[in-house]
Structure 1
Amino acid sequence: MASYELSAFDRFFDVSLVGAIEQVSPYTLNVGFWLRDPNQLVQYPELVAAHPRQDFLWNQTCFEIFVGVKDQDFYREINLSPSQAWQAYQFEEYRYPEDMPPVAAYDIELNQLKRTHYGLNVSLDLTEFMLANKLKWTDVFVGLSAVLATSQGEKYFAMQHSSPNADFHNKRDWLHQF
């Protein structure tokens, strides 16, 4: 299991966030997000039942996983809400197509999504995505990020920020390789 301390785009130090990535079976990806919020600044959406797919989760506190493929332009964005709603999107290249909401991706499935007292755990099934694109884990790289709605405004966390603005779609910031 590899872990990464995610950094806030605007050097916000009142909250800290760590993400951990683990490949567990031939096509299963587990990710955990550990949030430290001693002053309880983060605002959470209400819990929902049955893990529905919902769009625009990033308008509230939302954890995100980006799945890129080496030497390819296409990628997937997975949004995970502490409400336990989720969604996966497909992009052909950087932020394209520009549809809002983005085009849903049905080649990634949710095994489990659970809000915990320390953050969020998710297990994703990448079988269809990886088989359809003839991928091995060594072809894949992953980025972790989060939009945190706080009492002090929205805060943007990522593995690194190499753009002049917070930009989770920048593949240079997706640091995890298998």
Structure 2
Amino acid sequence: MNDQTFSLQPFPSIKSLPNLKIAGNIDRNSNQLAISYTLGGDLKEIVIDRPSNAQLRKHELWKDTCFELFLSIKDSQRYWEFNLSPAGHWNVYRFDGYRQGMQEETAFTILPFNVQNQADGLALALDVDLDKIVSAEQAIEVGITTVIKHRNGEGTYWALTHRGAEADFHLRDSFIVEL
């Protein structure tokens, strides 16, 4: 087991940000990956889609409030992007290299996760078996991110670290959690 807590930081900008906090924990036990996010603060200033009864695979979830996870095998250029919407929608994409060869990852046909509205925020938890894409012996590197869509239509970009001149979750230098 390799349980780690995290706190995401907004990409530095001149925009005024609502009072938000995004934190959570991530753990890999054998090849079972568990990640949970908590979003707290002034949520009335951001757009959060209502939970749906159907968890559907959808594209372009990052255009709205979306919790994300970038995962790579250590010393490999290939990586995966997991998108999780508070509405319950999801997708997983595979890349051959930095923003190259993007394909929907067909190894996953469902990606069940839980979303809970709480009095002081929102919680999202994913527990996924990675056997379909990596072996339990392979070390992985993870980038943890979130896109927050504000009521005014603008988005802010949250990550463990921001390594580029612009917000760019695909930069491998930002996959800083090793599991």
Normalization by structure 1: what TM-score? 0.87
Of 68, 75, 82, the match for 1:78:
82
Unaligned stretches of 5+ in structure 1? Answer: none
Structure 1 residues 39, 63: CA separation in 2 closer, same or farther (over 3 Å shift)? closer
Does 1:4 find its partner at 2:6?
A: yes
- Offset at 1:144? 0.4
Q: Secondary structure at the match of 2:173?
A: helix
2:24 alignment partner in structure 1 = 19
Unaligned stretches of 5+ in structure 2? Answer: none
Paired with 1:173 and 1:95, the residues of 2 have a C-alpha distance of 14
Of all paired residues, the percent bearing the same amino acid is 24
- Offset at 1:108? 4.3
Residues 54-79 of structure 1: CA distance to partner in whole angstroms, max 9, x if unpaired? 11101110000000111110000000
Does 1:48 find its partner at 2:52?
A: yes
Which has the higher mean CA deviation after the structures are superposed, 112-121 or 142-151?
Answer: 112-121
2:178 alignment partner in structure 1 = 177
Which has the higher mean CA deviation after the structures are superposed, 15-24 or 160-169?
Answer: 15-24
Residues 7-53 of structure 1: CA distance to partner in whole angstroms, max 9, x if unpaired? 000364621111310123x2211111111123522211132223111
The amino acid of 1:64's aligned partner reads E
Of 73, 89, 111, the match for 2:93:
89
Which has the higher mean CA deviation after the structures are superposed, 113-122 or 27-36?
Answer: 113-122
Paired with 1:159 and 1:110, the residues of 2 have a C-alpha distance of 27
Aligned length: 169
Of 28, 31, 45, the match for 2:32:
28
Superposition misfits of 4+ residues, deviation over 6 angstroms? none
1:57 alignment partner in structure 2 = 61
The amino acid of 1:113's aligned partner reads F
Structure 1 residues 110, 143: CA separation in 2 closer, same or farther (over 3 Å shift)? farther
Structure 1 residues 169, 81: CA separation in 2 closer, same or farther (over 3 Å shift)? same
Paired with 1:158 and 1:55, the residues of 2 have a C-alpha distance of 21
- Offset at 1:175? 1.2
1:166 alignment partner in structure 2 = 167
Structure 1 residues 73, 39: CA separation in 2 closer, same or farther (over 3 Å shift)? closer
Which has the higher mean CA deviation after the structures are superposed, 37-46 or 74-83?
Answer: 37-46
The amino acid of 1:8's aligned partner reads P
- Offset at 1:95? 0.2
Asked if structure 2 preserves the Cα contact closer than 8 Å seen for 1:108 and 1:124, the reply is no
